[in-house]
Amino acid sequence: MQAKHQTIAIGCLLILLSVAFVESGTSAERPDAIPEEPLRGRELFLSKGCVKCHAVRGEGGRIGPDLGKGFFARSLTQMAALMWNHAPVMRVKTRELKLSWPNFKEKEMGELVAYLYYLNYFDEPGNPEEGRRLVREKECLTCHTIGGRGGKIGPNLDKMKVYASPIFMAQAMWNHGPLMVKKMAELGISPPSLQGHEMVDLLAYIRAASETRVKEQIYMAPGNPRRGEELFRSKGCVTCHGVAGKGGIGPALGARRLRGTVSQIAAVMWQHGPGMWKKMQEMKVLYPRLEGSEMADLIAYLYFVGFFDEPGDAGRGKALFVSKNCVQCHSIQGQGGKVGPDLGQSKAFGSSIDALQALWNHVPMMEEATRKEKIAWPQLQGQEMADLIEHIRQTQKKKPGVPKQ
């Protein structure tokens, strides 16, 4: 029963944290927006009781949805609106279970939501039979050997069996990409395209068909998004690619272009490789090799960037503040209701995490106030959530002495 309550709590938490992150848009605006170790939040997922209601890929509770199966594969504002709209039901459940509403500290909220976002970063196991079909279709055996069959032009892929993560294959393909493409051109072979989960399926087939004996598989720790952000600059990616807004020579990578799992993001990089490499030659830009955990870190960064939304529209937010009846309880700079605090003076909007903490911890009081005032709980779309936050932030910027993010 307690699990149900925690499910509710997690739901609202995600809303609010999503709202908080919406404000930032990019790591340039919020230096702390990109997490360093997203998996830290797993401890909170367990200690706060989330696991009693929610499973992650089949392991955990069954009361709420499995959070590892694409449930949170949406933008921050979409998640925020989804969970906010269900907050009243969550509160009903907490009362039924006679459980107090859990409070979260700023650091805990950031770590928990980073973990929950991270769940969809990992690939499902590949399909060996589908991988077998892809090996034929992509003509991999023209150059490579798998299970004693194939060509000798490229390296024997049996050795990939030792690697448990597709990151290793992705990094090898990236580092050898220009040479591979050049050799294929000489042989009159088109570079193979990769989409969706095809890289994982290929690796699954290689493991099944390989003649290599493996005593122990080599695992790679999930990437560090903060280090990936540094690599994005130091490896020169930023020379051609933007993150928020418009791109440079290449497309902006923050506009959901790279949303997906590890292998899906790696496949996009491979797919655009030939064009990128050609452009680098024209610009006389040094081709960036990736060593050690660098591919994992870079992909982790690109994954997180894809979840940040553009800032909302303050003008639309101002209209929503009235139409959604926020103004009946809250004022901004003295204009509006007196039931709740003046949001234009609230220190809770000094940072995104501060806003999340205040919203989450005050959900019980907000629910009570809406009931007393006979105000329906406002239903919000993702963009509307962003617009409201931006309206509040902009009004605070116009008032001296109010903390700014």
Whether residue 219 is contained in a domain is answered as no
Q: What is the mean pLDDT of the chain?
A: 80
Q: Within a 10 A sphere around the Cβ of 233, how many other Cβ atoms?
A: 10
Q: What is the pTM of this model?
A: 0.77
**pLDDT tens track, the chain, 405 positions:** 444 444 333 333 333 333 333 333 333 334 346 777 888 889 988 888 778 778 888 888 887 788 877 766 666 677 777 778 888 887 887 788 777 787 888 778 778 878 888 888 888 889 999 999 999 999 999 999 999 999 999 999 998 998 888 889 899 999 998 899 889 999 998 888 888 889 999 999 999 999 888 888 787 777 899 999 999 989 988 888 877 655 567 777 765 556 678 888 888 888 888 888 888 888 888 889 999 899 999 998 988 886 667 778 999 999 999 999 999 999 998 889 988 889 988 877 666 566 667 777 788 888 998 888 898 989 988 888 888 888 888 888 765 444 443
Whether residue 243 is contained in a domain is answered as yes
Q: What is the pLDDT of residue 5?
A: 42
Q: What is the pLDDT of residue 72?
A: 67
Its domain, for residue 204, covers: 128-209
Domain boundary (251, 276, 305) is at: 305
Claim to verify: residue 294 and residue 239 sit in the same structural domain: yes
Q: What is the pLDDT of residue 277?
A: 86
Whether residue 182 is contained in a domain is answered as yes
From CA 27, how far away is CA 70, in angstroms rounded? 24
**Gyration radius of the chain's alpha carbons:** 24
Claim to verify: residue 110 and residue 50 sit in the same structural domain: yes
Claim to verify: residue 329 and residue 376 sit in the same structural domain: yes
Q: What is the pLDDT of residue 95?
A: 84
Claim to verify: residue 252 and residue 173 sit in the same structural domain: no
Whether residue 356 is contained in a domain is answered as yes
Q: Which of 233, 162, 243 is nearest to 203 (CA)?
A: 162
Whether residue 184 is contained in a domain is answered as yes
State the CATH number of the domain containing residue 205: 1.10.760
Claim to verify: residue 36 and residue 118 sit in the same structural domain: yes
Claim to verify: residue 153 and residue 245 sit in the same structural domain: no
Claim to verify: residue 113 and residue 133 sit in the same structural domain: no
From CA 182, how far away is CA 234, in angstroms rounded? 26
Q: Could you read off the pLDDT of 119-171 as tens digits, one per residue?
A: 888 888 899 999 999 999 999 999 999 999 999 999 999 989 988 888 898 99
- Please calculate the CA angle 295-301-302 and round it to the nearest 5 degrees: 90
Whether residue 152 is contained in a domain is answered as yes
Q: Which residues of 45-83 are buried (b: 16+ CB within 10 A; e: fewer)?
A: beebbbbbbbbbeeebbebbebbbeebbbbbbbbbbbbb
Claim to verify: residue 285 and residue 332 sit in the same structural domain: no
Q: What is the pLDDT of residue 353?
A: 63
Q: What is the pLDDT of residue 157?
A: 93
Claim to verify: residue 79 and residue 169 sit in the same structural domain: no
Whether residue 216 is contained in a domain is answered as no
Whether residue 274 is contained in a domain is answered as yes
Claim to verify: residue 344 and residue 294 sit in the same structural domain: no
Question: What torsion, rounded to 10 degrees, do the Cα atoms 11, 13, 15, 20 define?
Answer: -170
Domain boundary (209, 239, 273) is at: 209
Q: What is the pLDDT of residue 246?
A: 52
Number of domains in the chain: 3
Domain boundary (305, 324, 339) is at: 305
Q: What is the pLDDT of residue 402?
A: 44
